[in-house]
């Protein structure tokens, strides 16, 4: 998905110039490296994240869950979906 408007589709110069093609190739290669680094960093955060999730699930059953603006609702235990071994994946 491209951010921005879709009032027209694409560039007014649809074919990449040689320099643009080289620029994009280089930037995309670096982007893959950035992505891999993020995946590794976020993987390392898993134990901490598990703790944050546990605290969140406790808070919504005590202080409440934000339904809309300042409107909160305390979630009963039976409405907390069981984890059933599901992973906590955050980067897709």
Partner 1 sequence: MPRPHIEPFVDRDVGFKKLGLPGFRKGIQYKMLSMDKENGSCTMTVQYDAGFKQPPGFSYSEMELFIMEGHIMIGGKKCEKGTYIFAPAGTSLPAFSTSEGALGLVFYNFGPPSFQESDSDHQNADKSQQRKMISSYDGLDWQVPTLFPQTAPGCLLKILHLDPKTFGMTFLYCMVPGFWQDNISYHDVAEEAYHIWGTSWMMQFGDLPTGGYFYRPAYINHGCFKSDLGILAIGRTDGDLHNYFHHDPFSSPEENHHRAAAKLARMKPALYQWILTNEHNHLPHDFEFPDDTYSTEGYDSGIHMHDDGTSHAHKASGAHSHLNTPKISKKKSKK
Residues that bind partner 1 (CB under 8 A): 1-14, 16-17, 19-20, 23-24, 27-28, 30-31, 34-35, 38, 42, 45, 48-49, 52-53, 56-57, 59-60, 63-70, 72, 75, 79-92
Closest distance of CB 39 from partner 1, Å = 9
- Concatenated DSSP letters of 53-89: HHHHHHHHTTT-EEEETTEEEPPPGGGS---TT----
Closest distance of CB 18 from partner 1, Å = 9
Closest distance of CB 38 from partner 1, Å = 7
Contact by Cβ (8 Å): 62, 74: yes
Contact by Cβ (8 Å): 52, 67: no
- Cβ contacts of 61 within 8 Å, gap of 6 or more: 74, 75, 76, 77, 80
Closest distance of CB 48 from partner 1, Å = 7
Of 40 and 91, CB closest to partner 1: 91
């Amino acid at each position: 998905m491209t951010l921005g408007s879709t009032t027209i589709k694409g560039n007014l110069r649809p074919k990449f110039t040689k320099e643009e093609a080289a620029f994009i190739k280089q930037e995309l290669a670096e982007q893959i490296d950035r992505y891999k680094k993020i995946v590794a960093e976020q993987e390392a955060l898993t134990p901490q994240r598990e703790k944050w999730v546990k605290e969140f699930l406790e808070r919504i059953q005590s202080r409440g869950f934000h339904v809309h603006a300042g409107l909160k609702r305390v979630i009963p235990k039976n409405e907390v979906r069981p984890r059933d071994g599901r992973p906590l994946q955050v980067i897709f």
